[in-house]
């Protein structure tokens, strides 16, 4: 692999894939020697939705442990949110997230672009309410940007993740929006430009088209059977998402941003809190250190 070794990057991970509670998340992070996490859920609740006392306990624990937060993995406009939902509730979440990110010192927030509208057969509707999506995302992103926070859109199962063309259309319509690129999602997500039943996206094509807009990376690998929808997850480089090729290109470009490890517990034996921490730290070591040493 050309460029700097992988472990010179700013490494972190989705700590809630290691443990539910914040102390377990800190334990797993420090076991890997990492200095920061990608904050998402604590005890099953996204950090922007915790009550004030619970949030303050989390913030204090992270501060005491010397563990920072690179990015907030918010649920704002995610695949479980309908573009027809109450927008006032969304904006209240945005404002609360901003206050909490300021407390945590986080400068990136993961957002999405609402669920794909589909019929009963799974086909995407012709009308995806683009104007409403774009207007909402402009307001959401505008609030984050005004607070000095960069919103990054994930190529997940949402409007902007329907294909790289949908992503670029979204970026054209929403000033200031950047991307968090998940290396595993193209191989797990339908290409909605193609005939039904939709095939998977081409990982290299997606990366090549989107890389100039990427500000953050999620690292995982996987595959999906288009006929059944069955998903499988692998260590990076062992699946179908051309992760090694993407990372080589990323590092060759001089990228020095964050790389967030996603253990995706569905591919491992994480069934209890203690074993989850063991599984996640083992996965983290393998994903960052072994791959770096081999190159």
Q: State phi, psi for 178 to the nearest 5 degrees.
A: -115, -175
Instruction: List the chain pLDDT tens, one digit each, 295 residues.
Output: 344 444 467 899 999 999 999 999 999 999 999 999 999 999 999 999 999 999 999 999 999 999 999 999 999 999 999 999 999 999 999 999 999 999 999 999 999 999 999 999 999 999 999 999 999 999 999 999 999 999 999 999 999 999 999 999 999 999 999 999 999 999 999 999 999 999 999 999 999 999 999 999 999 999 999 999 999 999 999 999 999 999 999 999 999 899 999 876 443 333 333 334 443 455 555 544 443 333 3
Can you tell me the distance from the alpha carbon of 155 to that of 202, in angstroms, rounded to the nearest whole number? Answer: 13
pLDDT value of position 264: 63
Would you tell me the crossing angle of helices 52-65 and 87-104 to the nearest 10 degrees?
Answer: 30
Q: Tell me if 255 is assigned to some domain.
A: yes
Size (the chain), residues: 295
pTM of the complete model? 0.90
Q: State phi, psi for 126 to the nearest 5 degrees.
A: -65, -35
Q: What CATH number is given to the structural domain containing 56?
A: 3.20.20.150
Angle made by CA atoms 284, 77, 146, in degrees to the nearest 5: 90
Q: Tell me if 115 is assigned to some domain.
A: yes
Q: Tell me if 18 is assigned to some domain.
A: yes
Of the candidates 188, 259, 178, the one whose C-alpha atom is nearest the C-alpha of residue 219 is 259
Query: In total, how many domains does the chain have?
Result: 1
As given in the structure block, the two tokens for residue 154 are: 């994930």
Task: Round to the nearest angstrom and report the end-to-end CA distance of the chain.
Answer: 5
Structural domain boundaries, residue 103 = 6-293
pLDDT value of position 275: 38
Q: Tell me if 1 is assigned to some domain.
A: no
Query: SS3 sequence, the chain?
Result: CCCCCHHHCEEEEEHHHCCCCHHHHHHHHHHCCCCEEEECEECCEECCCCCHHHHHHHHHHHHHHCCEEEEEECCCCCCCCCCCCCHHHHHHHHHHHHHHHHHHCCCEEEECCCCCCECCCCCECCCCCHHHHHHHHHHHHHHHHHCCCEEEEECCCCHHHCCHHHHHHHHHHCCCCEEEEECCCHHHCECCCCCCCCCECCHHHHHHHHHHHEEEEEECEEEECCCCCCEEEECCCCCCCCHHHHHHHHHHCCCCCEEEECCCHHHCCCCCHHHHHHHHHHHHHHHHHHHHHCC
């Amino acid at each position: 692999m050309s460029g700097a070794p992988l472990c010179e990057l700013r490494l972190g991970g989705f700590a809630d894939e290691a443990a539910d509670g914040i102390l377990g998340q800190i334990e797993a992070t420090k076991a890997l020697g990492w200095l920061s996490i990608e904050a998402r859920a604590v005890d099953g609740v996204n950090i922007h939705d915790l009550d004030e006392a619970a949030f303050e306990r989390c913030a204090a624990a992270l501060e005491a442990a010397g563990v920072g937060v690179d990015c907030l993995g918010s649920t704002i406009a995610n695949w479980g949110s309908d573009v027809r939902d109450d927008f006032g509730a969304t904006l209240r979440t945005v404002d609360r997230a901003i206050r909490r990110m300021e407390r945590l010192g986080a400068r990136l927030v993961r957002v999405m672009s609402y669920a794909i509208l589909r019929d009963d057969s799974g086909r995407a509707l012709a009308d995806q309410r683009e104007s409403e999506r774009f207007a909402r995302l402009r307001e959401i992103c505008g609030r984050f940007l005004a607070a000095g926070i960069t919103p990054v859109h994930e190529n997940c199962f949402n409007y902007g993740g329907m294909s790289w063309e949908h992503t670029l259309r979204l970026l054209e319509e929403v000033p200031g929006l950047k991307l968090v690129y998940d290396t595993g999602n193209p191989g797990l997500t339908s290409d909605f430009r193609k005939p039904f039943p939709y095939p998977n996206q081409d990982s290299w094509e997606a990366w090549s088209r989107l890389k100039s807009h990427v500000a953050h990376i999620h690292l995982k690998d996987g595959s999906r059977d288009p006929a059944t929808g069955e998903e499988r997850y692998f260590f990076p480089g062992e699946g179908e998402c051309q992760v090694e090729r993407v990372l080589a290109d990323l590092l060759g470009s001089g990228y020095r941003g964050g790389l967030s490890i996603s253990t995706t517990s569905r591919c491992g034996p994480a069934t209890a809190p203690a074993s989850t921490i063991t599984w996640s730290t083992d996965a983290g070591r393998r994903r960052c250190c072994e791959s770096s040493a081999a190159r």
